[in-house]
Structure 1
Amino acid sequence: MTSFARKPDHLISAQVLSGLSGSSPNDLLVADCSFDLQNPGQGYLVYQQAHIPGAIYVHLDRDLCGAKTGGNGRHPLPDRDAFIERVRELGIGNDTQVVAYDNAGGPYAARLWWLLRWIGHGKVAVLDGGLEGWRQAGYETTNGSAGSRRQRTEFSAGASLVRTANFDDVRENIASRRALVIDARAPDRFRGENETIDPVVGHIPDAVNRFFRDNLDAFGFFKHPDQLRAEFATVLGVWNSGQVINQCGSGVTGCHNLLAMEIAGLGDAALYPGSWSEWVAQPGAPVATTTAR
């Protein structure tokens, strides 16, 4: 259950976070992003039952997504200005260190990590091991929802620290092969089996599979950077990380692979936010169901 020391701007241990617990609200914000795709209200109930003292609750659908149109996927990116305003309402200032965690291995926390970097806020990290890691380290939790209320701040967005790709980019890439598309979904869904979320089975042609949970060890902590680097090298082959487009079902677990790549020193990969759920909503978008490579 060892949590290795890593770049503090991407991943933080329970021990380090505990040492920051005396920080002022302006200096530190802990965000509980727990969520359940099958039951969108469950995450807040989990938060109310037990969360890190002082943590606020951040809801995937309400806080980390935009309006659905029927063609932009299950978890579309929020409008940038609207998300900046929501960041202010959450109490995040330009000097605030944000630490995100969840109860599911980190994909929802990674979504907040990525979105904050999208609007230029680099002072954000994901708690290694999440809520369970915090408990295993011997730290207390609290209940209720008092910690979810904070004063509004005057956050000013900066230049984006991440890259994105859209549907047209990914569609064109099938012919040009300028990028390697990595799909973070479970291998069976990637192959076109056991699909329970989206209406079409399969994957984007020529994509390769890297299940986001493979970034974690048996105890739910991120693998050591060297191990992640070696495993992603197998996935990448001749491609470099700057030629990668990460995607998943709806632009959430793809952020987990992006975080793992950053931990491994493989930065500058892009995210296709609409991902599979947007892809299959576009008329004529090609689909593959071949065995994962």
Structure 2
Amino acid sequence: MSHFVKAQWLAEHLSSPDIILIDCRFSLTDSEEGYELYVMDHIKGAFYASLETDLSGPVNKHGGRHPLPDVNILSQFFGSCGISPEKIVVAYDDSQNVFASRIWWLLRYMGHDNVKILKEGYTHYKEKGFPVSTKMPSVQNGVFNPEVKAQMACDKNHVLQASESKKPGTVLIDSREQPRYAGIHEPIDHKAGHIPWSVNMPYAGNIENGIWKTEQELKKRFSPISEKEEIIVYCGSGVTACVNLLAMAESGIDHAKLYPGSWSDWISYPENKIEKST
């Protein structure tokens, strides 16, 4: 079953009480921009989720730039959106699903598998003339009971062991753009390069000309790793890695793990080795 829905399907099911919409628009260069766009207009009935304040925890010495939020706090947020086991959550953004993928992963991590992504994004939906609104939905008094799937994530120590042991059945995937992986260009973090033994599969490789690749195309892309016993995925801070995890799930790979702290956590430990491509 696909992890995506299309704009036409969403418009036809917009009045269903079983659907919860989450607007995830965000800008890494302006943390207020996404909410400002949401206030201007959004899909009718959608709640807003900020990567910085709702989908991430406080930044500390370790844990990366976008640490996982506290389970109880995240549960309260999901409850305030009215998310319960029987609801279908549909998340969207306007950034090729980078931020929507984060909440897709978080919901599954918290035990709610019934979550979809609006494949074409908000602008396409709006340009089709489907219903948008400026009205804010009422905060719900729902209770979200998390059932955390700890096996979906791993920490620095686990990644370190994988990097050093180089087990044939394990693969460590870096989801960042090739120049960042190679250490040629690093616009965000204070150290450049990649985790030793990792391979580069940029998240943008799942999308061509602004359109998500088909299931068959994604299967072909990930076929070299599909038989691996353990797949660990990271990026800069645990956000764009979720795009790769979504693409893998769409291709039939559903056992891959996220290293939430990712590169920004890895380099917070000065003893950790880094590599650069020549």
Q: TM-score range by the shorter chain?
A: over 0.9
1:214 CA drift (Å): 1.3
The equivalent residue for 1:135 is 126
Alignment equivalent of 1:229, drawn from 219, 222, 225: 219
The equivalent residue for 1:3 is none
The equivalent residue for 1:77 is 68
Within the alignment, does 1:21 sit opposite 2:14 as a pair? yes
Within the alignment, does 1:156 sit opposite 2:149 as a pair? no
Q: Distance in 2 between matches of 1:101 and 1:134?
A: 10
The equivalent residue for 2:231 is 244
1:262 CA drift (Å): 0.6
Q: TM-score, normalised by structure 2?
A: 0.94
Q: Which moves more between the two structures, 272-281 or 190-199?
A: 190-199
Q: Quick one: percent identity of the two aligned structures?
A: 35
The equivalent residue for 1:91 is 82
Within the alignment, does 1:283 sit opposite 2:270 as a pair? yes
The equivalent residue for 1:167 is 156
1:135 CA drift (Å): 3.0
Q: Distance in 2 between matches of 1:287 and 1:123?
A: 38
Q: Distance in 2 between matches of 1:227 and 1:161?
A: 30
Q: Distance in 2 between matches of 1:193 and 1:91?
A: 45
Give deviations 1:108-157, integer Å, cap 9, x for gaps.
Answer: 10000000011100111111011123135442433x3x334321202222
SS in 2 for 1:126: strand
Within the alignment, does 1:255 sit opposite 2:242 as a pair? yes
Give deviations 1:185-243, integer Å, cap 9, x for gaps.
Answer: 1111111122111111011111111111111121x332101101111224x3xx62542
Where does structure 1 lack aligned partners over 5 or more consecutive residues? Answer: 1-6
Contact 2:11 2:131 in 1 (8 A): no
Q: Distance in 1 between matches of 2:40 and 2:228?
A: 40
Q: Distance in 2 between matches of 1:264 and 1:11?
A: 12
Contact 1:66 1:77 in 2 (8 A): yes
Within the alignment, does 1:189 sit opposite 2:180 as a pair? yes
Alignment equivalent of 1:270, drawn from 234, 257, 261: 257
Give deviations 1:78-129, integer Å, cap 9, x for gaps.
Answer: 1112211221122212221110011100011000000001110011111101
Where does structure 2 lack aligned partners over 5 or more consecutive residues? Answer: none
The CA RMSD measured in Å over matched residues stands at 1.7
Give deviations 1:259-286, integer Å, cap 9, x for gaps.
Answer: 0001111111110000000000012111
1:58-69 to 2 correspondences below 5 Å: 58-69=49-60
Q: TM-score, normalised by structure 1?
A: 0.89
Aligned length: 276
Q: Distance in 2 between matches of 1:92 and 1:29?
A: 7
Note closer, same or farther for the CA distance 1:233–1:136 as it changes in structure 2 (3 Å cut): farther
1:42 CA drift (Å): 1.0
Aligned-partner residue type, residue 108 of structure 2: R
1:161 CA drift (Å): 8.2
1:159 CA drift (Å): 4.9
SS in 2 for 1:168: helix
Q: Distance in 2 between matches of 1:174 and 1:160?
A: 23
Contact 1:57 1:148 in 2 (8 A): no
Contact 2:20 2:81 in 1 (8 A): no
Note closer, same or farther for the CA distance 1:97–1:241 as it changes in structure 2 (3 Å cut): farther
1:158 CA drift (Å): 2.5
Aligned-partner residue type, residue 215 of structure 2: P
